[in-house]
Structures are given as structure tokens and as C-alpha cells.
Amino acid sequence: MNVESKILSREISPILWKAGVTVSTAESCTAGQISAALTCVPGSSSYFQGGVVCYSNDVKVKMLGVPQDMINDFGAVSEPVVRAMLEGALKAFETTYAVAVTGFAGPGAGPEAPVGTIWIAVGSEKDVNVVKLEGDDGRDVNLARATHMALQMLLDILKKDFPAEEE
């Protein structure tokens, strides 16, 4: 985990804690890096409920309820799938917020998108933000960039929803 992710986690933690809200994750290509960043802060058990590393499509379907037809129609690395992963995490863990990531970190890719294509969804039942990252800078950099972006997106939505909790 890089220093930037740890710094973001330290900013996220007090907002979640003071607001009394919870978060969960559904990670494919990042394979738990976002969960690790969120839990590197002492006291994270008060707001982090859990996460699913859904590297395979079967896990996306069985554990998160992503429709197989959606994966067949749009590909596992797509906006509809990352949105469904987010909804699945919110439901499975009964959390206020969730973070979901799916992508091709490299070196291989699929027919629907090139290496470096990573979809990130962050939000709640009422508000979801989605970002598509593109560009291949090597697997390690692609994953670090996705982890950092997901944490930044979570921080941004928390600051918007709880402006008084930032301090």
C-alpha cells in the first residue's frame, strides 16, 4: 500500500467514525487493496463491515448478485457491472456506503476493453459516482492509481454528505 492511500484513509476514518456510518467493498482487480487501506487506521472496525474480492465472474454473480446476462452483454469490465457490484456490496454488508472496482490491470485484457481500463463506483443507495480510468502504466501503477482514485472518491462523497465532520 502506498503512502498516498494511507493518508487518504486517515482523512476518511474520522468522517466515517464521527458520522456513525459504515462502508464495504467489492473489489476485482484491486484484490483487497482498498479494504486494506481502509482498515490500516486504528478503530476501523467501527465503520468497515467487510469486503468481497470478486476476481472471478462467478463470485460477482453468486456473492454480489451481478446478473450473468449483464456480464455477458457488457463484459465484466463495464459501468453496468461496477454499478451492480456496488449495489451488491451495499446489500450484502448492509452498509451506508460501498466502493466497487473492476478492471484490467494488466498485462492481459479482455475483448471489451484494453489493459488499464478500470471502472470505479463509490456511493450509497441514494448517490453513486462512477469513474472510468484508462491508460496502461504497468500493473502495479494501474492498481495503485485505482486504489488511490477509489479512496479519493469516497473521501469526496463523505465531505459532501458530512461537511461538519471533516475536522
Cα distances from 64 to residues 39, 92, 124, 131, in angstroms, run: 21, 7, 15, 20
> Is pLDDT above 80 for 164?
no
In which band, very low, low, confident or very high, does the pLDDT at 119 lie, cut at 50, 70 and 90?
very high
**Could you tell me the pTM of the whole model?**
0.94
Q: Which of 40, 47, 49, 50 is nearest to 5 (CA)?
A: 40
> Is pLDDT above 80 for 75?
yes
**pLDDT at 6 (0 to 100):** 73
CB 114 within 8 A of CB 133: no
- CATH assignment at residue 8: 3.90.950.20
The total domain count for the chain is 1
**pLDDT at 58 (0 to 100):** 97
Cα distances from 22 to residues 47, 50, 68, 76, in angstroms, run: 4, 10, 28, 26
Q: Which of 141, 143, 149, 151 is nearest to 103 (CA)?
A: 143
**pLDDT at 1 (0 to 100):** 59
Report angle CA 88, 90, 91 to the nearest 5 degrees: 65
115 vs 30, which has greater pLDDT? Answer: 30
Which domain, by its residues, includes 95? 3-165
pLDDT 10s digits, 5-46: 778 999 999 999 999 999 999 999 999 999 999 999 999 999
Q: Percentage of the chain with pLDDT > 70? A: 97
**pLDDT at 156 (0 to 100):** 97
In which band, very low, low, confident or very high, does the pLDDT at 165 lie, cut at 50, 70 and 90?
low
